Amino acid sequence: MHTGTTLTQFIIEEQRHIAGATGDFTALLNDVVTAIKTISNAVNKGALIGVMGALETENVQGETQKKLDVITNEMMIRSNEWAGHLAGMASEEMDAVYPIPTKYPLGKYLMVFDPLDGSSNVDINISVGTIFSILRAPVPNRAAAEADFLQPGVKQVCAGYALYGSSTMLVLTTGHGVNGFTLDRDIGEFILTHPAMKIPADTKEFAINASNQRFWEAPVQRYVAECLEGSTGPRGRDFNMRWVASMVAEVHRILTRGGIFMYPRDTKDASKPGKLRLLYEANPMSFIVEQAGGVSSTGYERILDMTPENLHQRVPVILGSKNEVEVVLGYHREG
CB atoms within 10 A of CB 292: 22
Among the residue ranges 25-33, 48-56, 113-121, 138-146, the one whose residues contact ligand AHM (CB under 6 A): 113-121
Quote the CA–CA distance of 93 and 73 in Å, as a whole number.
7
- Provide DSSP, 280-328: IIIHHHHHHHHHTT-EEE-SSSBGGG---SSTT-EE-EEEESHHHHHHH
Applying CB under 5 A, which of residues 81, 93, 117, 205 lies at the interface with Mg ion?
A: 117
Q: Does 246 bind ligand AHM (CB under 6 A)?
A: yes
- The amino acid sitting at 94 is M
CB closer to ligand AHM, 197 vs 262: 262
Q: Does 114 bind Mg ion (CB under 5 A)?
A: yes
Q: Which of residues 269-298 bind ligand AHM (CB under 6 A)?
A: 275
Q: Does 148 bind ligand AHM (CB under 6 A)?
A: no
To Mg ion, the closest distance from the beta carbon of 86 in angstroms equals 21
Quote the CA–CA distance of 173 and 177 in Å, as a whole number.
6
Q: Does 209 bind ligand AHM (CB under 6 A)?
A: yes
Max CA pair span of the chain: 66
Among the residue ranges 110-118, 139-147, 193-201, 326-334, the one whose residues contact ligand AHM (CB under 6 A): 110-118
Q: Does 250 bind Mg ion (CB under 5 A)?
A: no
Residue 207: in which H helix or E strand, if any?
A: strand 205-208
Applying CB under 6 A, which of residues 118, 259, 316, 320 lies at the interface with ligand AHM?
A: 118
Q: Which of residues 60-79 bind ligand AHM (CB under 6 A)?
A: 63
Q: Give yes or no for a contact between 231 and 237, defined as CB atoms under 8 angstroms apart.
A: yes
Q: Does 7 bind ligand AHM (CB under 6 A)?
A: no
